[in-house]
Structure 1
Amino acid sequence: KDDKDSLLDGKDDKGAAKPEKKDKKKDVVKDAEAAHEALFAESRYPSAGTCGTCHPKHYQEWAVSQHSYAQLSPVYLSLNNKINELANGSNGDFCLRCHNQVGANLGENSFVSNLERHPTSREGITCVVCHRINKNYNKVSGRLALVEGGLTAPIYGPTGNKELARVLDNTHQYRVVTDPKKPGRQIHKEVKQFADISNPIFCGACHDVTLFNGFRLEEAFSEYRTSPAAARGETCQDCHMGKVQGVASGYEYGPGAIVGGVPTMPRKLTNHFFAGPDYSIIHPGIFPHNAEAQRMATLKEWLQFDVAAGWGADAFEEKVKDDSGFPERWQSVDDRYDAREIIDYQLKRLDWARQKRLEVLRNGYHLAKVVVEQADKDGIEFRVQVKSGTDGHNVPTGFSGERLVWLEVTVTDRDGKVIFRSGDRDPNGDLRDGHSSYVHAGKIPIDPYLFSLQSYFVTQNGRGGEIEHVIPIPYPVISLPRVLPSPVSLVFTGEPPTERNHKRGIEPLGERWGEYEVDASALTGKGPYKASIKLLQQPAPVNLLIAIQSVGFDYGLSPRAAGAALVAGTQLLWEKSLTFDIKE
Structure 2
Amino acid sequence: MATENPESLPRQTVDSSAFSSAGQCQYCHIEIYQQWQGSAHARSFINPLYRQQLARVSNESQGAADEFCVSCHAPIGWLTEQIPPIDGEGTDAVAQQGVSCDLCHAITEVPQVGNAGFRVSPGKVKYGPFDDALQSAMHESEYKRIYSQAEYCGACHEIIHPENGLVLSSTYSEWKAGPYGSRRIQCQDCHMTPGPGVEKPNPGVAATGAPKVRDHISTHYMPGTNVFGSKQAGFEDHAALAEETLQSAAVIFLGLPDGLTPYQPARVNIRIRNDGAGHYLPTGLSVFNDMWVEMVVTDEQGSVVFQSGVTGSDGTIPEDSIVFGTTFADAAGNETDNLWEAARVLSDNRIPPQKYVDEFIEIPGLSRPGTVDIKVRLLYRNITPQGAKELGIDIADIPVTEMASAGGKIQVR
Q: TM-score range by the shorter chain?
A: 0.7 to 0.9
1:364–1:389 contact (8 Å) kept in structure 2: yes
**Aligned partners of 2:36 and 2:360: how far apart in 1?**
41
Say yes or no: does 1:273 pair with 2:221: yes
**Aligned partners of 1:379 and 1:59: how far apart in 2?**
57
Superposed counterparts of 1:82-161, under 5 Å: 82-106=56-80, 107-112=82-87, 118-142=92-116, 144-149=118-123, 153-160=124-131
- 1:355 is aligned to 240
2:39–2:230 contact (8 Å) kept in structure 1: no
What's the offset of the Cα at 1:419? 1.9
Secondary structure in 1 aligned to 2:27?
coil
- 1:327 is aligned to none
- 2:40 is aligned to 66
Q: 1:86-130 deviations in whole A, cap 9, x for unaligned?
A: 22322122111111101222413353169x853323322111221
Say yes or no: does 1:395 pair with 2:281: yes
**Aligned partners of 1:93 and 1:499: how far apart in 2?**
22
Secondary structure in 1 aligned to 2:154?
helix
- 1:530 is aligned to 373
Name structure 2 gaps, 5 residues minimum.
1-14
**What amino acid sits opposite 2:348 in the alignment?**
K
Cα 1:537–1:380 shift into 2, 3 Å: same
Say yes or no: does 1:453 pair with 2:324: yes
Q: 1:5-64 deviations in whole A, cap 9, x for unaligned?
A: xxxxxxxxxxxxxxxxxxxxxxxxxxxxxxxxxxx95x4322222111111121122112
Cα 1:528–1:46 shift into 2, 3 Å: same
**Aligned partners of 1:141 and 1:368: how far apart in 2?**
38
Alpha carbon RMSD of aligned pairs, Å? 2.6
What is the TM-score of this pair, normalised by structure 2?
0.87
What's the offset of the Cα at 1:510? 0.9
Pick from 146, 171, 175 the counterpart of residue 196 of structure 1.
Answer: 146
What's the offset of the Cα at 1:473? 4.2
Secondary structure in 2 aligned to 1:142?
coil
Cα 1:391–1:60 shift into 2, 3 Å: closer
**What amino acid sits opposite 2:161 in the alignment?**
L
**What amino acid sits opposite 2:336 in the alignment?**
H
**Aligned partners of 1:269 and 1:84: how far apart in 2?**
40
**Aligned partners of 1:235 and 1:144: how far apart in 2?**
18
Say yes or no: does 1:52 pair with 2:26: yes
Q: Higher relative contact order at CA 8 Å, sep ≥6: structure 1 or structure 2?
A: 1
**What amino acid sits opposite 2:224 in the alignment?**
G
What's the offset of the Cα at 1:545? 4.1
What's the offset of the Cα at 1:282? 8.0
Question: Which structure has more strand as a fraction of its residues?
Answer: 2
Cα 1:140–1:408 shift into 2, 3 Å: closer
- 2:393 is aligned to 560
- 1:519 is aligned to 364
**Aligned partners of 1:402 and 1:218: how far apart in 2?**
12
Larger-Rg structure = 1
Say yes or no: does 1:576 pair with 2:409: no
Secondary structure in 2 aligned to 1:411?
strand
1:44–1:148 contact (8 Å) kept in structure 2: yes
Pick from 18, 36, 52 the counterpart of residue 78 of structure 1.
Answer: 52
Superposed counterparts of 1:462-473, under 5 Å: 466-473=333-340
**What amino acid sits opposite 1:572 in the alignment?**
E
Name structure 1 gaps, 5 residues minimum.
1-39, 169-177, 179-186, 288-345, 434-446, 476-497, 554-558
What's the offset of the Cα at 1:505? 0.6
1:410–1:420 contact (8 Å) kept in structure 2: yes
**Aligned partners of 2:71 and 2:54: how far apart in 1?**
11
**Aligned partners of 1:526 and 1:460: how far apart in 2?**
54
**What amino acid sits opposite 2:338 in the alignment?**
I
Superposed counterparts of 1:376-391, under 5 Å: 376-377=261-262, 378-390=264-276
Secondary structure in 1 aligned to 2:95?
helix
**Aligned partners of 2:127 and 2:207: how far apart in 1?**
15
Superposed counterparts of 1:399-414, under 5 Å: 399-414=285-300
**Aligned partners of 1:282 and 1:61: how far apart in 2?**
12
What's the offset of the Cα at 1:238? 1.6
Cα 1:351–1:407 shift into 2, 3 Å: same
Pick from 426, 429, 452 the counterpart of residue 315 of structure 2.
Answer: 429
1:535–1:573 contact (8 Å) kept in structure 2: yes
Aligned pairs, how many? 395
- Percent identical among aligned pairs is 22
**Aligned partners of 1:364 and 1:524: how far apart in 2?**
38
Superposed counterparts of 1:260-339, under 5 Å: 262-267=209-214, 268-281=216-229, 287=233
Question: Which structure has more helix as a fraction of its residues?
Answer: 1
